[in-house]
Amino acid sequence: MNIEEVLFEVAVELIDRAVKVLPRDVEDALRRAYESEVSETGLKILEAILLNVKTAREEGRLICQDTGSPVFFVEEGVAYPWRIDYRKVFTRAVSEATEKTPLRPNIVHPLTRVNTGDNTGFGNPIIHISKATGPLLKVSFMPKGAGSENMSSLHMLTPSEGAESIKRIVLSRVVEAGGMPCPPTVIGIGIGGTADEAMLMAKKALLKPLGKRNRDPVLARLEEELLEEINQTGIGPMGLGGRWTCLDVKVEYAGCHTASLPLAINFQCWAARRASAVIEPDGSYRVVQP
Amino acid sequence: MEFKLKTPVKEVSKLKAGDVVYLTGLVATMRDRATRKLIELAKGGLKPPMDLAGIPVFHCGPVVRRIESTWVVEAMGPTTSARMEPLLEDFLKFSGVKLIIGKGGFSEASTRLFKTHEAVYCALPGGVSAILSKAVKRVCSVYWLELGLPEAVWILEVDRLGPMVVAIDCHGVNIYSEVRREALRKLRGCR
């Protein structure tokens, strides 16, 4: 067994799956939105979205033509027995999937705008590696569309302003963003840490299943209140008015400097695509989502 | 109202904000770089190689695959139109296009441009590429491939492309700015 070959196959499968099969929790949330939407335009849009999700799944088509920036999250158990060159493996997998799935070649040099042709190069795919307890390897893939990513922001708040200013800023960002991030969105929020850590927490929050509240009761309440207030703005599906602006809000936090209060907001479109796999030391694996 | 439009689309005053449209005929995809190129050519007194008379322009970067000598659209859907907003005035002036298709819309300031140029903006749901790509009958031609596959201009024959919502009409109504104005009012009301 060559672990890097296994991981290559896993990565190609995760990419293909993520861009064609929307996770069940996201589809369920969209269906609940459709069942309770009040705007006629909103209903028409949600109906098209649900039909699209079904068509993509059943016919093996792409859910969205923007197959995103390729982002991988690796959680490597401290007792996982293999050393793996993740960059080498994931780069090859993205290149392969770009051809086979196919993915739209999205990645360009940031200044010359020259397209690399296969979604790799200049630091792509994006890879976040962290350590976990235990003997397993968990890999998640998130194709991140630009429409929603472009609405993301970082705010270094004044600590004394606290939770109220967090809510005020998130709400005003949602209204400014309007239809651009393809609502109903999922909103990932990172509170605390440092500027870089806050942004990463906001992105990682988007990996969490929809509908489940944070275990911390203070954050759970913040998530609920934000979701409620965002859905009172009336921005609605695709920004054309309606009840459903946001499917869920996910908050992560970390301790921060006594003089700081970082707030990071990462928007995710309704096509909240992700897929994960858990790989055993012997190379067997299971796709755990969707 | 629901409309079944056929290209060429030369007169759009009957379309009102909130109407639903399904489009049959030809569309030209165009996003950031092609829009800029078209304007630069026009400013230099040159015509673009494609004929846009009566052809709706679609803000879209499709996923295309070449199978032998023909191009096939694997996936397509609208991209964020706001990126083309700085070019909108020149675009409407030089292209003569009467129908723009995209997502996310344009700001309140652009509403008058649609009125002046008697054009409308239709919003497709973002990201529904599995159903939209099924509306493509064939790729008729492609221009400016050197801009990259998503940025090239693809002339596509479509059948019942939709549902799209008339989001900015030529009578001065912009649904996005109305929705946003109401949302801001509510936010201020909370405090």
Give the relative orientation of helices B32-43 and B88-95 as an angle to the nearest 10 degrees: 60
Within 8 A of A49 by CB-CB distance, chain B residues are 125, 127-128
Task: Say whether B187 and A175 touch across the interface (CB within 8 A).
Answer: yes
Contact with chain A for residue B103, Cβ under 8 A: yes
Structural domain includes residue A37: no
pLDDT for A175 beyond 70: yes
Total domains present in chain B: 1
**Is A102 within 8 Å of B63 when comparing Cβ atoms?**
yes
Q: What's the pTM value of the predicted model, to 2 decimals?
A: 0.94
Does residue A32 form part of some domain? no
CA distance, residue A133 to nearest chain B CA (Å): 37
Domains: count for chain A: 2
Asked if residue A31 is part of any domain, the answer here is no
Position A163 scores a pLDDT of 83
Q: Is B165 on the interface with A (CB under 8 A)?
A: yes
Helix and strand numbers (H, E) in chain A are 8, 9
pLDDT at A192: 97
Pair of tokens at residue B85: 């907003």
Q: Find the Cα–Cα–Cα–Cα dihedral B34, B35, B40, B45, rounded to 10°.
A: 100
Per-residue pLDDT reduced to its tens digit, A110-144? 999 889 999 999 999 999 999 999 999 999 999 99
Contacts for A122 with CB less than 8 Å, ≥ 6 apart: A107, A109, A110, A116
Per the domain annotation, does A42 fall within a domain?
Answer: no
Q: A1-46: per-residue pLDDT in tens?
A: 999 999 999 999 999 999 999 999 999 999 999 999 999 999 999 9
**Contact: A178, B180; criterion CB under 8 Å:** yes
CATH code for position B71: 3.20.130.10
Look-up of token digits 């800023």: A169
Q: Which candidate from A102, A105, A147 shows the least CB-CB separation from B74? A: A102
pLDDT > 60? residue B191? no
- Supply the pLDDT for residue B74: 87
Res B156: pLDDT: 97
Radius of gyration of chain A (CA): 19
Q: What is the pLDDT of residues B75-99, one digit of tens each?
A: 899 999 999 999 999 999 999 999 9
Query: Are both A12 and A98 inside the same structural domain?
Result: yes
B58: containing domain? 2-190
Same domain, A250 and A179: yes
Residues A92 and A108 in one domain: yes
- Inter-chain contact A241–B178, Cβ cutoff 8 Å? yes
Residue B190, pLDDT score = 59
- Tell whether B29 lies on the interface with A, counting CB pairs under 8 A: no
The answer to whether residue A220 sits within a structural domain is yes
This complex has an ipTM of 0.91
What value does the mean pLDDT take over residues A180-201?
A: 98
Please, which residues 172-231 of chain A have a Cβ atom closer than 8 Å to chain B?
Answer: 172, 175, 178-180, 182, 229
pLDDT digits 0-9 by tens, B118-136 = 999 999 999 999 999 999 9
A175: containing domain: 147-268
Strand partners, B141: B155
Top residue of A65, A119, A230, A233 to mutate, by most chain B CBs within 10 Å, is A65
